[in-house]
């Protein structure tokens, strides 16, 4: 599937945060509440296990939602998914596109306003950490809501805010111009995924970007 416009809640299905066998069910629950974009991340999984996990998530979700894979371009190219999300230590965007089918979605992580303003050849950029992340401590200084607002103003593609984002921040980040809002712990480390996902989607949908950022 192409990337929705706006992206909305962007659920990172992190196999180091929730056990892999629970992720497909969690994804299905989130999709039922209106989440339309998912990224599978499994830094500690083998290639074979990651391929199996992406396949299981797609089986759970069906063809509608957008499904991306973190880092592993080979898995993204072979799995029933829509593309890949790359960090600055992963394979370059242009190289990844050579292995992916035409029209595949490629996202790229940025960590400063200057980086956000560049054309990385990606279909969207991640921008963060917005807040201090507990799931993926990066050692980077949080860029804050004001940083996100500036990034959305200069980025040539839609911006997904990421890093330590909880339910309480969704509406404000959307108002700051984010097309998407990545959530990991806030969605996965909760006793009941359904009301959390529903509240996140409501928080996003109930607001419109005020600042002219690309949405």
The residues of the shown chain that bind its own copies, judged by CB under 8 A, are 46-49, 51, 71-75, 77-78, 87-92, 95-96, 98-99
Question: What CA–CA distance (Å, rounded) separates 132 from 154?
Answer: 23
Q: Select 89 or 191, whichever has its Cβ closest to its own copies.
A: 89
Q: How far is the CB of 99 from its own copies (least distance, A)?
A: 6
Please identify, using beta-carbon distances, which residue of 14 and 158 lies nearer to its own copies.
Answer: 14
The phi, psi pair for 177, rounded to 5°, reads 115, 0
Q: Are 164 and 12 in contact (CB under 8 A)?
A: no
Q: Are 95 and 76 in contact (CB under 8 A)?
A: no
Residue 151: how many other CB atoms lie within 10 Å: 28
Vertex 142 angle, CA 84 and 69, to 5°: 10
Query: Smallest distance, Å, CB 15 to its own copies?
Result: 14
Q: Given the complex with its own copies, which of 49 and 113 has the nearer CB atom?
A: 49
Question: Which C-beta is closer to its own copies: that of 46 or that of 62?
Answer: 46
Q: Least CB distance from residue 101 to its own copies, whole Å?
A: 11
Q: What single-letter DSSP state applies at residue 205?
A: H
The answer to whether residues 73 and 108 touch, using CB atoms and an 8 Å cutoff, is no
Runs of H (alpha helix) within 12-127: 23-32, 47-61, 73-78, 93-99, 113-117
Which is nearer to its own copies, 45 or 178 (by Cβ)?
Answer: 45
In the complex, minimum distance from the CB of residue 95 to its own copies, in angstroms, rounded to a whole number: 5
**Shortest CB 19 distance to its own copies, Å:** 17
């Amino acid at each position: 599937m192409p990337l929705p416009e706006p992206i909305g809640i962007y659920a990172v299905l992190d196999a180091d945060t929730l056990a892999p066998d629970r992720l497909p069910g969690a994804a299905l629950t989130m999709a039922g509440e209106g989440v339309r974009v998912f990224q599978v991340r499994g830094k500690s999984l083998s290639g074979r296990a990651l391929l199996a996990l992406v396949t299981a998530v797609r089986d759970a979700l069906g063809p509608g939602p957008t499904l991306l894979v973190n880092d592993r371009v080979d898995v993204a190219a072979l799995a029933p998914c829509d593309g890949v999300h790359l960090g600055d230590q992963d394979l370059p965007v242009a190289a990844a596109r050579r292995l992916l089918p035409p029209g595949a979605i490629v996202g790229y992580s940025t960590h400063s306003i200057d980086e956000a303003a560049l054309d990385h050849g990606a279909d969207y950029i991640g921008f963060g950490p917005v807040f201090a992340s507990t799931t993926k401590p990066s050692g980077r200084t949080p860029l804050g809501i004001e940083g996100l607002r500036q990034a959305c103003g200069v980025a040539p593609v839609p911006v997904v805010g990421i890093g330590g984002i909880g339910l309480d921040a969704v509406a404000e980040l959307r108002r700051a111009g984010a097309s998407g809002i990545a959530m990991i712990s806030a969605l996965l480390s909760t006793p009941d995924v359904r009301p959390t996902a529903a509240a996140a989607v409501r928080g996003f949908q109930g607001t419109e970007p005020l600042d002219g950022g690309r949405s």
